[in-house]
Structure 1
Amino acid sequence: AGLDPYLQLSAMMLDVSGAWDAIVERFVADPATRRKVFDNPFYKSLTAEFAGSEAFAALQRLYDLHQTGAFELEVVDTPPASHSFEFLQTPARLIRLLDSRTARWLFTPSLSASRIAMKVASNAARFVVREIERFAGSNVLSTITDFFAAMAESMDGIIDRLQKTEALLHSPAVKFVMVTTAEPDRIRQARELLTQMEAEGLKLSAIVINRFLDERTWSAVADSTDPLSHLAEISELRSSLAKDGADANGFGRLVRHFEAYRDRTLDDIRRVAAFAHELPKGVKLAIAPEIETGVRDLAALSRVASYLTSGTSILKPLESAARSMHDARKLNVP
């Protein structure tokens, strides 16, 4: 495939429960206390149902891998854009929850169940319980209390670890790459995520517009001075159809399909070009087309790499050709 055979790649699938168990084993020294934590219904729910359990486990695993220094580059594939920001906010959210005075006050191990019930009556305590139940599902308060009682001595160590993970995400060692497509809703989400990341101080280094047009169009840019000539030919079909009277045979529907494809392609080009012009300095843009056969082998992967590293060189000729087509159609010139 033309790739360097000496390059090494390691890949892993995240074991969410195993990652949580490893954290407990690290911070809870007493074997009996660890067994209490592992058997606790709240802990089982926390590691399986908590909305941020996978994000927490992934980020802790990333921190461990980074600390070993064994890799030149670590890549984490986050959830889709609509949830990726929640993924990045998980450490800070857990720190706010677990390190709050109310949480520590509410779950002091020496408290009896009756005293806890009295404390839950306060607004602050109800907020903590609500947040925990939102994350981990509804549970009996006593199991939550038992969990915090068992984890009380190790809570400072866990919070310290979360703070270090949060610091790593904001450090120069971490850069974020957003992958999106040219659809209007995806571009809108990308703009929103850009604003959110800037507000949170997270460094977005690049945006990839994936599945943008097709490989034939990309080849036409390299081989022709008129990269959208195949779209211009579609505009000629309508007049040819009228002359031949072929609409009655169903060809009209086929022409309308081609015209919809042409209009969608031109809209995508204009939308991506406008998005590229408004990107802040320091955020690079990369573009890759739809690979018809899919990315199923190293040769296809190498093709994707070549597209990505070419940057936005394809965009200017496409934008110019799309503008010319638009002007010609306004003048009703084939």
Structure 2
Amino acid sequence: MAGLASRLADRGHQVSLLTFQDGDDQYPVADAVQRLRLPQATGSSLPVLGRIQALRRRWRALGQQIVASRPDVVLSFCDRNNVDVLIALSEKGRQRTKVPVVVCERSDPSQQSAGRWRQIARRRLYPKAATVVALTKTAASYLSTFSGNVVVIPSAVDSPLVLSNRDQAGQQRSIVAAGRLEPEKGFDRLIRAFALGLGSNQDWKLIIYGQGSQMDTLRELAKQFSVDKRVTFPGWVSPLAPALAEATIFCLSSRYEGFPSVVMEAMSMGVPTISVDCESGPREIITQGVDGWLVEPTEAALAAGLKHLVADKPLRESLGQQGRKIAERLGWSAMVDQYESMLKTCSHDSA
């Protein structure tokens, strides 16, 4: 989102980036982008009536801020925010501003739950959006069952980074994973697969970057499988590129995904990448056996895949070399072109 906003501003568009955020930005935003912030939603610990009142205050503040900005088009990201924006810009609000709303799903909408009432609201409200953007064909197919104008625009990756410590990656003998330490990311499956496939191979270590509610659970799991001395949790690091540059292998173990940017980033840097072939995402990035390695979504298959890559250095080198080409196929310029064209069309259609 920050990258897209910055690049649209670089092309001469007036861009305002509105977030529910109290702290500093995690990703850099161009100076030309106007930053607007609303406080994080509160009230999750309140009784039902209190939560409803808190949501109404959130929608009112959101709608007022958007209307005050007088946009030609609103571009919303992520399921919860999408529903909130569509509610905040009620029919009355849209008549006042004549603003089309484009909503973007950033995960697999058939798997990602936004909460029961938001799931229902999404099905009722998405048809009112000017356009619904999906990351993958699989996600688009699902969204098309209840939304009209659905388009596919994949995520983008920066040009390959050339870092000196990438040359030492083979000596590190490390498998790197990164993401939120939450159940959907499948790090429990990765730890079990690591223990199953490489438990007796003391030369290799597993490094999992990220923060989340499962940190203690995952540490305990590593102890249970007697690999805690070789599995480390450094927390979240930003930028991630230096950590990826030191990886011998990158692994994605998610139970479901949107269009995982971390996979593209690892591939663009020449890191041999293995991924679970979850229903949506990785299979639209990786060509099996050419620029990456896809395995069935089981611990046994992931363990076998890791063991295979560890044992086959020529294969790792080939996957890494081919993976670098991802930046040519999924670069920022093409992605911004698609968004720019779509946003202009939506804006003109509402004029």
TM-score by length of 1: 0.29
Look at both structures and tell me which one has the larger radius of gyration over its CA atoms: 1
Q: Which has the higher helix share?
A: 1
Q: Which has the higher strand share?
A: 2
